[in-house]
Amino acid sequence: MSLVVVGCNHRSTPLGLLERMTVASDDLPKALHDLDAAANLSESVLLSTCNRIEVYAYAERFHGGYADIRELLARHSGLPPETVADELYAHHDDHAVRHLFTVAAGLDSVVLGEHEVLGQIRDAWQAARAEGTVGAALEPLFRRAVETGKRARTDTGIARGIASLSHAAVALAAERLGGLAGRRVLVLGSGDVAAGTLKSLAEAGPADIAVAGRTPERVATAAQLCGGRAVALADLDAALAAADVAITTTGATDIVVEHGNIDDVMARRGGAELLIVDVAVPRDVDPAAGELLGVTLLDMDDLGEFVERQRAGRGEEADTVRAIVDDEVNRYMAEASAREVAPLITALRARADLVSVGELERHSSRLADLSPAQRAAVESLLRGVVNKLLHEPTVRLKDAAGHARGDRLAEALRDLFDL
């Protein structure tokens, strides 16, 4: 059995392909059950965010598990398996553990140290729990990943400054417009990213914040939190026509704002320019809208370039977080090996006890004339010999747990004693 992670992210895959492979929350239960039904997988967690799609699983065979995950992502995206394969990375065993802990610590995000990914990992873990695809193997792994992410942010300054996609989107808009004070801002969406965006906007001092989305109740709640106003989705074009900047954050699987919508909006603006920052994956705004006169359309690629410029000077914090990840990976691997060793030692001693009992029964006629005290002495002698023989192998196996030597010893015991 191997722990594997197979996926793609903002670094490995162009945005156009990444958004096709994204798994929406409504599709997550089916995707998890498809993984659970795969021939080579026994447990699975699917992490799908605006900048990564990753499947963590235990595989009977690495190559078979990889193929099962690749096929699922191909079916979901409607892309040929060979196209999907070109975009995927894969890690197994300790490298898979290190990758997950690195993601949880915010080192593999668009925004260095971002805190949103930790909640996304926790949500993915809980969703897999709810669907019954997490067991004794992945449960401790994800618990430790969340703990690692918390430690990285508590013990270092990795999360200071711009530390979320929503914060970065507001900062990018402010950079392009020379600040947001006195500006009119429209936020499309009412989920977690929208909430983070509205919080950052409230601190930037715009003259007006409008919030639009598909669920009126959630939109109204979000607007209240930032002192803004709710806008009906039917009035979206009018809100765009009145805004200086729009930030779109929905979780929709299709385009929400078409080229034609923006064309009509620009005709109503009297030549005033419009900045749109689309941080949704899949994208909310038709990319062709960016070609219209007066429209500046920025997406996740632009956000990534902006954030990359902000990373300067935070290398020392990143190095400290990497040391934390190294420590947590080593601790987890040692504990995982110990968890695997314990049942092996139990099985070895059970086999020895079975042999001892069998030998006593086989010689029961010869021992029939012994007194109870003499019988007890023979049994005690036998147990003592067995315990002394097993003591050294047990100690060595426990001492080597967590290292390659421990894995070799464990495999040797399984073969030698047919455990």
Q: What is the CATH classification number for the domain harbouring 147?
A: 3.30.460.30
Residue 409 lies in a domain: yes
Give the helix/strand (H/E) hosting 2: strand 2-9
Q: Which segments of the chain have a pLDDT < 50?
A: none
3-state secondary structure at position 52 = strand
What angle, 0 to 180 degrees and rounded to 10, lies between the N-to-C axes of helices 315-362 and 372-400? 160
Q: Are residues 183 and 276 in the same domain?
A: yes
Domain-embedded: residue 318 = no
Strand residue runs (E) in 41-175: 41-49, 52-59, 89-92
Residue 62 to residue 3: CA distance in whole angstroms: 8
Could you tell me the pTM of the whole model? 0.75
**Residues 284 and 358 placed together within one structural domain of the fold:** no
Tell me, yes or no, whether 310 lies in a domain: no
- Report angle CA 337, 340, 343 to the nearest 5 degrees: 145
Q: Burial of 376 by CB count in 10 Å (0-12 exposed, 13-18 middle, 19+ buried)?
A: exposed
Claim to verify: residue 376 and residue 286 sit in the same structural domain: no
**pLDDT attached to residue 245:** 97
CATH classification of the domain holding 269: 3.40.50.720
Asked if residue 344 belongs to a domain, the reply is no
Position 1 scores a pLDDT of 66
Angle between helices 404-417 and 372-400 (to 10 degrees): 140
- At which of 124, 144, 161 does a domain end? 161
Element (H or E) spanning 303, and its range?
helix 300-310
Which range of residues forms the domain containing residue 261? 165-305
β-sheet bridge partners, residue 290: none
Residue 346 lies in a domain: no
- Best CA proximity match to 3, nearest among 50, 69, 52, 48: 69
pLDDT tens digits, one per residue of 105-141: 999 998 888 888 999 999 999 999 999 999 988 999 9
- Say if residues 260 and 200 touch (Cβ distance below 8 Å): no
Q: Kindly report whether the peptide bond that precedes residue 372 is cis, defined as omega within 30 degrees of 0.
A: no
Residues, the chain: 419
Residue type, 210: A
Classify residue 347: in a domain, yes or no. Answer: no
* Domain identity same for 169 and 156: no
Query: Rounded distance, CA 166 to CA 164, Å?
Result: 5
Burial 198-225 (b: 16+ CB within 10 A, else e): bbbbeebebeebbbbbeeeebbeebbee
Q: Which of 63, 70, 53 is nearest to 17 (CA)?
A: 53
DSSP string across 180-247: -TT-EEEEE--SHHHHHHHHHHHHH--SEEEEE-S-HHHHHHHHHHTT-EEE-GGGHHHHHHH-SEEE
In a domain, 147, yes or no: yes
Residues 29 and 150 in one domain: yes
Verify that 107 and 128 share a domain, yes or no.
yes
Instruction: For 265-322, write each residue's pLDDT tens digit.
Output: 999 998 899 999 999 999 999 999 999 999 999 999 999 889 887 776 667 888 999 9
Tell me: do 27 and 136 sit in the same domain.
Answer: yes
Q: Specify the DSSP element, H or E, that contains 152.
A: helix 138-155
Task: Give yes or no: residues 151 and 228 share one domain.
Answer: no
Q: In terms of domains, do 21 and 94 share one?
A: yes
Give the domain-ending residue among 141, 161, 181.
Answer: 161
Q: Please indicate, yes or no, whether residues 40 and 154 belong to a single structural domain of this protein.
A: yes
Same domain, 190 and 297: yes
Number of structural domains (the chain) is: 3
Catalytic, out of 18, 50, 124, 134: 50
pLDDT at 313: 60
Based on the residue annotation, tell me whether 8 is a catalytic residue of this protein.
no
Residues 15 and 151 in one domain: yes
Domain boundary among 272, 305, 338: 305
Within-domain flag for 186? yes
Q: Going by DSSP bridges, is the β-strand pair 89-92/2-9 parallel, antiparallel, or unpaired?
A: antiparallel
